[in-house]
Each structure stands twice: as C-alpha cells, then as structure tokens.
Structure 1
C-alpha cells in the first residue's frame, strides 16, 4: 500500500469583480486575511489568501485580470476549456440559522433553504442553505454531519 499524500481540502480560488467587497464579505463571516501578493507575470495585480475560522482551510481571491488556470477559461493558447468544474464552495457552520442571517448581513444573496435533506443509504440527514457571494460564487452552508465512511478525527 502506498503512503497517503493527500490530506484534505485546502482552498478554493475565486476571481472577483470587486476584490475589496469580496475581502470584506469573507471577513464578515469569520475569515481573516493571512497574506496578499502581486504577480505581474500572471497579470495578478492583487491576490489575497483568507483563512477560515477553523484554521484548516482557505479561500484565495484574485482580481479579474489574473491570468491563471480557471473554470471556463483556458490557461494557455490552445488549451481545452473546461466549464462547470466549480459547482460551489461549502462552508461548515455550527448553527445554520445564525449563519444564514450573518451571511446575508455580510452581503450574500439568499438562493435556497435552509432545508433538511436525507441522502443515500444508509440515510444521512443534512441541513444546509445556498447563497450567492459577492463575486457570483455559490456558497453552501452545512451544519456538522458525519457520513457512514468518515474516519475518526
């Protein structure tokens, strides 16, 4: 058996039409800026890494000029374009109702939920809600859930 080199989710990257609005939005829901940089050779005027409150994951924010590999746009001349690869970000929350109020106050647009769903066999009950963030990103909020195949922490 080979050694497991993949350890979990690190970050999602988002290009934003209003970088400061996106930074403020994620700060309002508990993320904090941990780094920013410029990389002119990739058209990056400003990029910002935002750490999640659990300190285990991040969201990376770019301005619209960033020339990076991304959903719907080829990174190099002749590269096949991939569309629809990023469905949504999913953020863990401890209290879904409170998080729904907070994310709307921060500037998200409510799309659906909260709702309780039963998934698969054996049945797993989840409670979630869906929003649109300031850059058009779809954000799912999910209360804690354990799946039958989860390994203990």
Structure 2
C-alpha cells in the first residue's frame, strides 16, 4: 500500500466548542463541521487544519465513552521552532496543563531534541517538540 502522508488525528471530546477553541489557540482553523448517524445516536465532527496536519474532533452522541486513559493514541506531537516561546505564549493564553515544570532535553535522542507535554480539553496528551538539527 502506498501512503501519501498523515490524513488526520482523531480526538474524542465531550465539548466540541471547547475543543475547537483550544486547537485554534494552537494555530488551527476549523474548516468543516458535520454529523454522522450511528446506530445509537449522532456523532458531531469538526475538521481542524493545523497547518501541516489535520485534527478530527469527534463528539460522540452514541454513548461512546470519551477518555484518553488506556487509548491507542498516546499523544499528538507538534513540531515547533522555539519551544520556550511557544510554551510561554500558550501559558499566556491560559493553557496550564503542562505535565512537567520545564521542557525535557534529550540531546542523544533522534539527533537531539527537547519536548514538553501538556493535556488538551479531553485529557489527550500533546507533545511540543523541537529538534536541534
């Protein structure tokens, strides 16, 4: 099978408006909204263009539990060029869910990088990553 790149990353949410607003704070743009009928309810969908990849936010209306615990998507990684500046901007906008007090520096991993994890509105983990090379 030939692939053409990442299509999207799906995130379950209990609050679509909060999720869209959160990812727009990260620089995204909600471009489409839709709903899909499931056997037990209607799921609300939103596609968010993150400038290089797409997020699909799904608000289940069919009884699907919304949880990031034990899921198969451990985190979403977003490449940045100035991690401290990006983190400071996010904190200034009210994002205060960073999992460590400071970024983690890993000079030997994949040519050298630093990263900093925080959580989104539905508990999903997001990694800001900056490569040294």
In the superposition, the TM-score normalised over structure 2's length comes to: 0.80
Match of residue 52 from structure 1: 50
User: How many angstroms does 1:86 deviate by?
Assistant: 1.0
| Contact 2:38–2:62 (CA under 8 A) maintained in structure 1 | no
Aligned-residue CA RMSD (Å): 2.6
Larger Rg: 1
Distance in 1 (alpha carbons) for counterparts of 2:14 and 2:115: 27
Q: After TM superposition, which residue ranges in structure 1, 4 or more long, deviate above 4 angstroms?
A: none
Taking a change above 3 Å as real, the CA distance of residues 129 and 40 of structure 1, as seen in their structure-2 partners, is same
Distance in 2 (alpha carbons) for counterparts of 1:71 and 1:110: 18
Distance in 2 (alpha carbons) for counterparts of 1:15 and 1:30: 19
State how many pairs are aligned: 128
Taking a change above 3 Å as real, the CA distance of residues 131 and 47 of structure 1, as seen in their structure-2 partners, is same
- Structure 1: where are the runs of 5+ without partners? 73-82, 147-153
In the superposition, the TM-score normalised over structure 1's length comes to: 0.71
Match of residue 57 from structure 2: 61
